[in-house]
Every structure is written in C-alpha cells, then in structure tokens.
Amino acid sequence: MLRIFLKLISIVFLISCSDNEEAQNTEIITDSYFFQKKVLNMNLYNCTTPIENVDSTYKKTSDSLNFYKFSELTEQDDQIDSCTQTFTQINELTPLKADLLLGVSYMELSNCNSKIEEELLLDDLAPYLEYLKENDVQVWTGISNLENNSFLWINIWQSEEYREEFLLEWINSNNSGMYAKALKSSAFCEKPSIYLFL
C-alpha cells in the first residue's frame, strides 16, 4: 500500500515539474523591427493654391501646397477647397526608424499596383526590410492596405542628401538587382512624388 502511495506522489510530482518546465520555456520576442508595428491614419492634401491656415498638427511644404498628418487616433479630416485629399491607413514596416517621423520629413510617395495578395507582398518585402535593418539605413517605410490591388508606398528619409547617396550606392550594388527583380514580380510602382515637409 505504501509503495502504491509513493508511486502516486512521484507521478504527481513529475507532472507538476513538467508543467512548470513548459511554462518557463515561453519564448519572448524582442525584435521590435518586425513586431510592435503601428497602423497610422494618414491625411494628405495636394492643393492648387497655397493654404496658409493649416492646422499646426500638419507638416507642410514651404510653398503651402501640400500638407500631411499621421495619427494613430484621428480619422479622415475634412475636405478643403482646391485640394485633393488622400486618406488611408499606413502599415509601418520599420518601427525602429519611427523617430524620422518627428522632424522635417523628406517624403517619397509612390502609387503602386500589386500583382499578388497582400500577405504574399509583405513576405516578398521581408528581404528588403532585413537589408534596411542590417545596414541601419535611415529610412522609415510604410505601405497602405491594398484596395483593388493598389497601394501607396511611403519612404521618409533622413534628408534629401542621404537619400541621393543611398540610391547611388544602392544602384551600384549587387543587392539592387536582386531585390528589384523580386519586387518586380510582386508589384509595379510609378515614379515617386517627392516632398520636403517642414
């Protein structure tokens, strides 16, 4: 009888130990480059005449013809006469570079068409994003959700000079052809519009 009782206690002890071991083996993911990404609402205005009385939460170009705001909370803002408004949600792809959103923004905005589903598109972007991370490229990147296979691709660079230097180096590297070929099979982007927002 004592032997059976000791066996039962041993089994209970082993089960409780194995449960604790499983709980302690939980993996904590710490790479914020691929996690903790935000979805930002973007209101962008392109105007035919300068707009001087823009809300101070917006960044604007020096000629007051273009202005934008990213926000986690704000929904679509009102239409403005003589302006074309773009409102969309932007999925942040490079959260480690979010500080580039705080100061002057040298923005590159492309209209793109995807040839594949959104999940596959993000998979195809992974090697490029890994390159940006490994080489500490000073660019914040985000894309909008696909709507009728169209999306916006936004890059915010540290400065115009930095962008030009990076692109010159990029064009002369082996990586550019490899990534361009991979992305070409996934999406086509028009020549980007460039803005300097203050």
Q: Is residue 64 one of the residues assigned to a domain?
A: yes
Is 43 among the domain residues? yes
pLDDT exceeds 70 at position 170: yes
The boundaries of the domain holding residue 71 are 31-197
Which of the two residues, 31 and 115, has the higher pLDDT score?
Answer: 115
Residue 149 burial by Cβ neighbours in a 10 Å radius (0-12, 13-18, 19+): middle
Confidence bin at 74 (pLDDT 50/70/90) = confident
Cα dihedral sign for 49, 54, 60, 61? positive
Residue 57 lies in a domain: yes
pLDDT above 90 (res 178): no
80 CA to centre of own chain: 28
Is 20 part of any domain? no
User: Which among 177, 183, 172 has a CA at the least distance from the CA of 141?
Assistant: 183
User: In this structure, is residue 48 part of a structural domain?
Assistant: yes
Q: Identify whether 52 is part of a domain.
A: yes
Q: What is the pLDDT of residues 5-34, one digit of tens each?
A: 444 444 444 444 444 444 444 344 444 444
Which pLDDT score, from 0 to 100, does residue 9 have?
44
Give the number of domains in the chain.
1
How confident is residue 35, by pLDDT bands cut at 50, 70 and 90?
low
Q: Residue 196: is its pLDDT beyond 80?
A: yes
Confidence check: pLDDT of 52 > 80:
yes
User: What pLDDT, on the 0 to 100 scale, is given for residue 13?
Assistant: 43
pLDDT in tens, 133-168: 999 999 999 999 999 999 999 999 999 999 999 999
In a domain, 189, yes or no: yes
**Per the domain annotation, does 168 fall within a domain?**
yes
Q: Which CATH number characterizes residue 66's domain?
A: 3.30.70
